[in-house]
């Protein structure tokens, strides 16, 4: 049975407005104020978007961004930092959990990735889904995905590289070498690809959107009715948008300026890269704070903040750190696919060493 979905296709927006709309639409769908929705995203000007758990100073070259008028903002979802040029295209779906029809989120996310694989094939690009959250052409990433939940709804996001500026991306993002070392790649530029590179030309943006919508219809029996934000969403957007412009949001995660020794470590796992930054007070023999970020996927991004809170002021001696991490993974099973308690323990201990 074909299911009608709302289609939102805004003109290019600044990064803060897009991030505010993400929160507004997820809240709207969770509260039953709107139907299931597909939204296309284009950004102007260029921007660097952090994952929810990342610190600007660890992931972004702020001076370069200021000099080149590149915006910095933060997503409501986890994962790694990404660079958006004016040619890139994103899409998101906002759906009620009742739409899952007994399927778990991992199954649905994989199916949504297959939609993008189908769309790329129809554009003339042979791609494949690579668990947990990449779509690749050969060994090069062409799409990234992510998602989050809120009560009765979830959002799934996909970004497609169309005519990508790799040189700017390398200058904007501080990419840990551990992220690419196991892929046997000689240069960061060889890690990604884009439509123009694969096709020799840039398809018309309206054509790309049309093909994506058709792939949804083919794979998932969805069809779309173009619409706008409703009055409830417009009001919430006006209320929320300034917060997403603010340093309070953009620098939500940051390294403390208090005294202490700061160390970091990275670990590649089946679920993606983990990056841990720890601050210790050696005289008191305690772990003062920890930041956990990376390009891993999590169904509920807020659980990472819960783990960081549990580890705050933890004694360095004994097995207390391991006990806290294992207890956390037991309390929140399957929230970070492909990442185990042992992975996090190993990365934290590596940083502490």
pLDDT digits (tens, 9 = 90+) for 38-74: 999 999 999 999 998 888 988 999 999 999 999 999 9
At residue 334 the predicted structure's pLDDT band, cuts being 50, 70 and 90, is confident
At residue 177 the predicted structure's pLDDT band, cuts being 50, 70 and 90, is low
Query: What kind and span of H or E run contains 237?
Result: helix 231-245
pTM: 0.85
At residue 213 the predicted structure's pLDDT band, cuts being 50, 70 and 90, is very high
Can you give the pLDDT at residue 272? 82
Can you give the pLDDT at residue 3? 82
Can you give the pLDDT at residue 182? 46
Given a cut of 60, whether residue 32 has pLDDT beyond it is: yes
- As a whole number of angstroms, the distance between CA 92 and CA 96 comes to 13
Distances in whole angstroms, Cα of residue 132 to Cα of each of 106, 110, 312 = 9, 9, 29
pLDDT: which is higher, 196 or 258: 196
Can you give the pLDDT at residue 60? 94
Cβ proximity of 107 and 187 under 8 Å: no
Can you give the pLDDT at residue 179? 54
Question: Can you tell me the mean pLDDT for 15-27?
Answer: 97
Dihedrals phi, psi of 317, to nearest 5 degrees: -80, 155
At residue 285 the predicted structure's pLDDT band, cuts being 50, 70 and 90, is confident
Q: 146-155, 167-176, 230-239: lowest mean pLDDT where?
A: 167-176
Nearest CA-CA partner of 16 in 65, 74, 56: 74
Given a cut of 70, whether residue 185 has pLDDT beyond it is: no
**CA angle at residue 136 from 123 to 333, to 5 degrees?**
125
Can you give the pLDDT at residue 263? 86
Instruction: List b or e across 321-345, with b for residues whose CB sees 16 or more CB atoms inside 10 angstroms.
Output: bbebbbebbeebeebbbebebebbb
Cβ proximity of 301 and 78 under 8 Å: yes
């Amino acid at each position: 049975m074909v299911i009608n979905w709302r289609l939102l296709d805004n003109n290019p927006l600044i990064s803060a407005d897009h991030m505010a709309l993400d929160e507004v639409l997820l809240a709207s769908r969770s509260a039953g104020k709107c139907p299931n929705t597909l939204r296309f995203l284009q950004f102007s000007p260029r921007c660097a978007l952090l994952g929810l758990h990342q610190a600007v100073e660890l992931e972004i070259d702020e001076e370069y961004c200021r000099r080149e008028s590149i915006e910095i903002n933060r997503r409501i979802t986890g994962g790694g930092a990404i660079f958006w040029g004016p040619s890139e295209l994103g899409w998101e779906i906002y759906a009620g959990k009742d739409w899952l029809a007994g399927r778990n989120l991992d199954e649905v996310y994989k199916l949504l990735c297959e939609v993008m694989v189908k769309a790329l094939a129809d554009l003339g690009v042979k791609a494949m889904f690579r668990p947990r959250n990449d779509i690749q052409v050969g060994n090069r990433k062409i799409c990234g995905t992510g998602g989050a939940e809120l009560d009765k709804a979830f959002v799934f996001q996909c970004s497609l590289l169309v005519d990508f500026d790799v040189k700017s991306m390398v200058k904007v993002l501080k990419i840990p070498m551990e992220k690419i070392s196991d892929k046997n790649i000689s240069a960061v530029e060889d890690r990604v690809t884009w439509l123009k590179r694969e096709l020799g030309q840039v398809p018309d943006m309206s054509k790309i959107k049309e093909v994506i919508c058709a792939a949804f219809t083919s794979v998932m029996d969805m069809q779309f009715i173009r619409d706008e934000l409703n009055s409830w969403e417009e009001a919430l957007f006006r209320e929320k948008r300034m917060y997403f412009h603010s340093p309070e949001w953009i620098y939500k995660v940051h390294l403390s300026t208090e005294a202490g020794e700061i160390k970091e470590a990275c670990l590649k796992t089946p679920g993606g890269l983990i990056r841990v930054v720890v601050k210790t007070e050696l005289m008191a023999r305690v772990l003062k704070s920890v930041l956990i970020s990376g390009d891993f996927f999590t169904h509920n991004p807020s659980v990472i903040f819960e783990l960081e809170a549990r580890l705050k002021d933890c004694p360095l001696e004994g097995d207390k750190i391991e006990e806290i991490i294992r207890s956390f993974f037991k309390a929140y099973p399957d929230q970070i696919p492909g990442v185990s308690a042992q992975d996090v323990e190993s990365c934290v201990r590596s940083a502490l060493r």
